[in-house]
Each structure stands twice: as structure tokens, then as C-alpha cells.
A and B are shown apart, each in its own frame.
Chain A
Amino acid sequence: MSADIGQPARIRSPLLAVHPSTWRTIFAMAAGLGVTALLILSVGADPLTAYRTIALGAFGSLERVTYGLNRATPYILCGIGVSLCFRAKVINIGGEGQIAIGGLCATWVALTWPIANPAIAIGSAALGGIAGGMIWASLAGGIHLGRGVNEVLVTLLMNFIAVLLVAEALHSWIGEIGAGFPQSPMLTANYRLPKLIAGTDLHIGILFALVAAILANIVLWCTSLGFAWRIFGESRMAARYAGFSRGRLTIGVMALAGGLAGLAGAIEVMGIHYRLIEGFSKGFGFNAIAVALLAALKPWAVIPAGLFFGFLETGTQAMQRQIGVPSSLVIVIQGVTMLLVLAAMGGLRPKGGS
């Protein structure tokens, strides 16, 4: 998990006056385009058109951009938490479950209290989501510390449980009677996130994400808590020697990550669906991990990484609609792109095992 990308990779030969990783990146991009071109040709479509539709699908119009931003929001929010956890070597892969619980709690708040003032309404639902995520994550942290169960396992298993909890809730007390799909009743207007740009679907969630990223960066680098987390992540023994409490640091970082994931869930509910629907969190958790690691666990870098994911998705999906390639091809293209970007970034990583 070590991703201290701080130090620049050494320049191998004077001929390469450039950061070697630059070449790698260029190569990776070229390779990526090449591979995807072949795949696209294989289904009888024209790669250039495909690329154009991807680009247009991602950035073609203000509206397209807003979709990408909305898509990126949960990845960024949840990714920030993941990056902090991984920094502290607390391998929390419970993002999906925390998002699900967050969405559930936010919905519950929204459906239980008919608050008129939108600001208060949204605020309280968001807090509900945050609290839910925090509690769910802290629970995982508690089991991990209390019983010494590896955190990866606890969070993984609790993902399954969380998703089933949401299903159960939708099937029983929070579900909409007679709906054709497991979903809650619609949220009232005052519980819907205001639009950032009128006439588009871009809701204010992205602002939360940006602010959170900046705050997280500040916490990590400018506070003694962040320092403690970094030490804790670098060496458990050093953390002990420094007198940090393993319990507090672990629960603390888990709770923070859970809160952010919970907020992401609340935002998906209040900003996208206006209701809780089954499987709304599907895959978000793992994407968030990918985003955080792609960002080399730097909270601020989670923003570009998250946007990369968001726009890659909107773009490739637009391509799927425009030139009718199978969705599987889209997934392949996303996978290939990611692997190549990773390989390119590898050059930035410090070498040496220990």
C-alpha cells in the first residue's frame, strides 16, 4: 500500500532529460488508444468516431460535463476517506457498505421529519447520512481492534451485510408500497439538493467533495492528528513509541472515512435519485479505492482521480449509446485504460522493498 510518491524517480540516462514517468505516461496513453482502437474495430466501429464520442460524451456540452461531475462526487468523497485510512494503514474497504448505510439513514431522516426549510432539511439528512456511515465504520473498527480481526475482512463482510440491510429496509419499513422496484417513497422537494447550475442536473454535492478534499489535505499535513495518522501508517511500533493510542487513531480514521462515505450516500439519495433505491451504491466502494490509490493517497489528488473516473464513465457510456458498442467493451476500455495509467504511474513510485 506504500504510495509515498514524494520523491521524484531518478533519471536513468542523461539522454532522457525528462522525468522518465512522463515517457511512460505518453507510452501508456498511446498504448491505451491503440488497444481500444483494435477492440472498437473488432466490433466494426470506427475508432476515431468512438474517441470523438467519448470526448463529446464527457465534455461535449455543459450538460455532459455536469453528468461527469455528479458521477465523480461520490468517488471523490469516499475516496478521500479511503486515502486517509490507507495512509494510516487501516485497510478499510467498507466504502460501499458505508455509502449504503449513509443513504439509508439520510432517507430515514428525510422521510421521518417533514422539515420545511430546505437548508435545515438537507443539512439534517446529510448529518444523518454522515452519522450512519460513521457508526457503521466505527463498528468495523471496533471489531477489528477489540477482537483483532483483520480490518480488510471486517469491512468486506460488513459491506455484504449493509447492502442486505438496505434491501431489508426497502422491503419492509422504508419501502414504497406497491412500487415496481425496491425503493423508498420520493423525498419531498425540500430534501432535494439544489442545483448548482440551473437547468442542469449538477447538484451542490461536488462542492462538498471539493471542500472535503481540501479539509482532508489540511488535516493530513497541517494537524498533529494527521501527523499521528501518518506515523501510525508508517510504523506501528513508532506510533507506540510516540505514545499514540492505536485505538483512537484507528477508530478516528475509520469514523472519518465512514462519515465521508455516508455523506456520499446521502448525496446520491438527495441529489440523484430523490429516493433510496436498491443497489444505488453498487461498485462505488471499489471505485473509490481505485480512485484513492490512483491519487497515490493524496487527498487533494483524489479530486483529479475522481474526475478522471467520472468523465471516463460518462464518456464511454455516451459512446456505447451513440455507436452501439456492447457495454462489455466499455468496461474493457475502462479496465485497459486504468491498467495502463497504473503502469505509467508505477514509474513515480519509490523503488526498493524496505
Chain B
Amino acid sequence: MAGDSIPLLEMRGIVKQYGSVAANAGIDLTVSAGSVVGLLGENGSGKSTLMKILFGMVRADSGTMIFKGRELSGHSPRAAIGAGIGMIHQHFMLVEAMTITENVILSLGPAGRRLRKREVSRLVRETSERYGLDLDPFAVVGNLSLGRRQRVEIVKALMRGAELLILDEPTSNLSPPEVDRLLSVIRRLRAEGKAIIFISHKLGEVLEICDQIVVLRDGSVVGHSESDACTRVGLASLMVGRELDEVFERSTASPGLKLLELHNVSVPAAPGGSGLSDITFSVRSGEILAIAGIDGNGQLELAETIAGLRPAKVGTIELAGTDITNTGVADRIATGLSYIPADRIGTSLVPSMTIGENLMLRDSHRAPFSVHGWLNSSALDDNAHGAISAFGIRAPSPNISTKRLSGGNQQKIVVARELARAPKVLIAVQATWGLDPGATQFILDRLLRLRNDGAAIVYISSELEEVLALGDRIGVMFDGRIAGIMSRADADVTRIGMMMGGLETQSSVEEIRA
């Protein structure tokens, strides 16, 4: 049993206080070589903080870390890397203006100094092919989808190599096949005697890959056991601190009239992205169209085109009967279109601004937030307090900047804002990205409620589970087209998988139009 061997890493009594928030309240963590330790916990429970401390990105207020028998004190990422620790950050650490190759060279540190670009790009290509991550070494990171960026981070970590590898939510942006490949990579590393700390909110993965599982809540360890002694339900309730019923209720759809219609919409491809070609579908009131697809097949472009961030060069878009093809973002918001983009930091959230301000980001010039151009601060506060309690956002006050919030809590803010508008149509991309099971379920719940209240929802996700769980109709995107749309009833996983891979496309247009 891996657990018995002398520990590779011992963290004792790690404490990190952020203002009033105890991100880590005296955490002990032991990792032994050749084992995978799963780190579970609600959003904001302190996982990333603990890992950042271990990697030297953040300095602990107190506590000791012993790695390979030597104490790591006041160390920096440089020291951590030197000692043999590698980390994939939850929020990517990539230089967007540079190519993948350049980012990799950077990550190799002093070792990269001697390497030629050509060699490195070859290595990148090999590595990404070996692990089925499909990356173009010369692509500029800024043009890559989140999924691809995630792969870049993985390649970085693999190529640098480390005795202890920290993976902070590496699967959040991966498609199922990619996840499988990553897991097999992890197994191989374990076999090579490396240690891995694996953070994820997807209990399935965690149970599948981890030897031990450590559960955090509010900055302290609330559970620690061998993984085969754990069950999903058990873990979930341990994390949340209450019972979670695994499968959630969903009444059957009662579709009303068409709220969103796209007719032959086409968009030219932006650098590094996919375009859209001849997209035609419609969504009815009280209906969820869930769109699956491997990240980077036009989902982002589709969402942005509907939301008004990309002009539709060809075709028409109608919202509740009115043609919005050429109206701006603001008008679309006003006509009842909400949009939850995948890219949180800097797009749907302004990290340096307060929770309250972010909650009114897209409605600031409308009542109640402003009257005749004057901001109404009490409305802002009420709204903020309301959202914080309604969505259980973990924050000391609505007036702290959202960059201090954990990923999950940040996403809750976005969802809260977009639902508060009681939209006719909601476009959501990876809405549960990086959320803990409790939060995930909570949000899917809210989406279903919105649908039951008669909204039309387009839910775009690369997580098949979710798509199947949520969609009244399931669509699949491949290469900028709708490969097919089927009703919930006759959605079967293998067929969808084929479509996602572009191996099958649906011919009967009627079914699409349905």
C-alpha cells in the first residue's frame, strides 16, 4: 500500500488568513511517493490556497512543509520547481501573447535555456500527440480556447516533469476523452513512482484515480481516507456538510412558442478559432437545448454570435419574434437575452471590482441600479446581499473585490446576475465550470427552474453527463456546424460521441428544425 512508505511531502498546521477569511485553518497533508491524493472541497474551502502555498506562490502565515525530508521555508516557485514540485494552476499561468512553444520553454526554466525552439516545438508536438492532446506548437495562446489552454498547461507540466505534481482542477475544461487520457497519464506517472495531488469537483474522476482522498471544508480537513473506502454520496455530503441527493428532479418539458431562432447563420473564423457555417435551429419557451461538442468546434462562436459579441455575417437571429441580427449587446440584454460565457476572468467578471458592482455589470444603466443615470447604491447593496444569500456565495462582504473569491464563488456571481434578469433566453457556456457538486447541482437546479418558468435555454458544455442530464433536446457541434439535434428520448451516448468526433452527421433537416 502506497500509504505506508515514508512520506514524500508532509504539510503541518498550514494557516493562511485572508482578512476575515481563514483560507487555510491549520491543514495537515501527507503525500507519499507513487500515490495519487485527491483533494476535495467546496468552492472556497481552501484547496488552491493550500497548493499555492506548497508551490511557493503564496506564503503561509504559519505551518511547516517538509519535502523529501527537507523543510521548505519561505520558498518561491523557483525553489519549489528546483525541489521537484510541479503545478498546474486552476487559473492558467500562460503568456497569451506567446506561442505554445514559447510558453513551454519558459516553463522549463533554466533547463530551457539550452534548447532550440525547433527542438522544443518538436517535443511539444510529440508529447501532445502521445497523450492525444492535439496542440499546434506554434499557435498563439491568446487565440486558444480554454480547453486548449488547459492542455497547454498539462503539456507544460508533463514536459517539465516533477516528483510531486499538483493538478488544480485540470479536468474542468477537458472533454471526456481528454479526461480519460489525462487519467491514464496520471496512472503512468504514479507507476513511475511520482506523487500527484489531484484537485477536482468531479467525484467520479476522483474515485477512479485517487489512492487517498482528503476533504476540506472552510479551510480545515474534515475527512481523510483511502479512496476505495469512499462513495460519491458519502464524499459529497462530507464536502457540503449536508446530504446531497445525487440525481436531481426534472419535470418533463412543456415547450411553448419559439423564443430563439437562428436561420442559416454563418460567421467567418477568427484567428485560432472556428467559424460558424449555416447554423439553423430554434429553441422554444420552457425548453433547454443542450449542445455538446469537443471544445473548439464553434461553441464559443455560436454563443458570442447570439449574445451580440460577434456580428453574424450571414443569416438571421430572432428573439421572441423580433429580428436581433443587427442589434447591439445592450439591446439584446434589454430584450431579455442573458449570457453566461465560459471565460470568467476579465469578461463576465471584473476581478478588481466588488461583488456588488459585478452583480450589476450588465444592468448598471437600468432601474433599479440607476435612475436617470444616477447609481442607486442601496439597490446595489440590496441586490448584492440578496444574491449572496440566495446563491450561497462565500464572501465576508459584498464590497470586496471578486478577485479574492474562489473560482466557484466567482461563477456563482455571474450566474446570479444573468438569472436575476428573468431572461426570455439564456445562453450558458460551461456554466458549472469549476463548481463543486453542491454548487453545480444548485445552478443546474436554477436553470431548470428558469426553464420551467418559460425561458428558452441554450446550454453549451463539453461535459456529456451534464448535457444529457439537462437537455430537453441535445445538439452536437462539430467544425462550426450543428452535426445534429435529437430529442432527449432518442439521445444515445455512442451516437453523440460519434457526432462529436465528426464521424456521423445527421441528415434529416426536419429533425433539426423540430
Contact = CB atoms under 8 A, between A and B. Distances in A.
A238 interface: yes
Given A230-B353, A235-B346, A242 B361 contact: yes
Nearest to A235: B346
A242 B362 contact: yes
B375 A223 contact: yes
Nearest to B357: A227
A241 B377 CA distance: 22
A245 interface: yes
A111 interface: no
B401 A241 contact: no
Contacts, number: 74
A222 interface: yes
B329 A242 contact: yes
A7 interface: yes
Nearest to B343: A237
B220 interface: no
Interface residues of B, number: 32
Contacts of A244: 330
Contacts of B375: 221-224, 226-227
B328 A243 contact: yes
A238 B346 contact: yes
Contacts of B362: 241-243
Interface string B361-382: 1101100011001110100000
A223 B330 contact: no
A234 B350 contact: yes
A168 interface: no
Given A222-B374, A224-B375, A7 B346 contact: no
Contact of A241 (B347, B352, B353): B347
Contacts of A46: none
Nearest to B362: A242
Given A222-B374, A245-B328, A238 B365 contact: no
Given A224-B375, A227-B375, A243 B329 contact: yes
Nearest to A244: B330
A227 B364 contact: yes
B276 to A, nearest CB: 19
A242 B334 CA distance: 11
Contacts of A2: 352
B367 to A, nearest CB: 11
Given A241-B341, A243-B329, A243-B333, A224 B365 contact: yes
Contacts of B328: 243, 245
B348 A223 contact: no
A55 interface: no
Contacts of B369: 224
Contact of A224 (B339, B341, B347, B373): B373
B329 A231 contact: no
Contacts of B341: 241
A238 B357 CA distance: 12
Most buried by B among A2, A222, A227, A240: A227
Interface string B110-125: 0000000000000000
A228 interface: yes
21 contacts: A221-B375, A222-B374, A223-B370, A224-B364, A224-B373, A224-B374, A227-B357, A227-B375, A228-B364, A230-B353, A231-B353, A234-B353, A237-B346, A238-B347, A241-B339, A241-B361, A241-B362, A242-B329, A243-B329, A243-B333, A244-B330
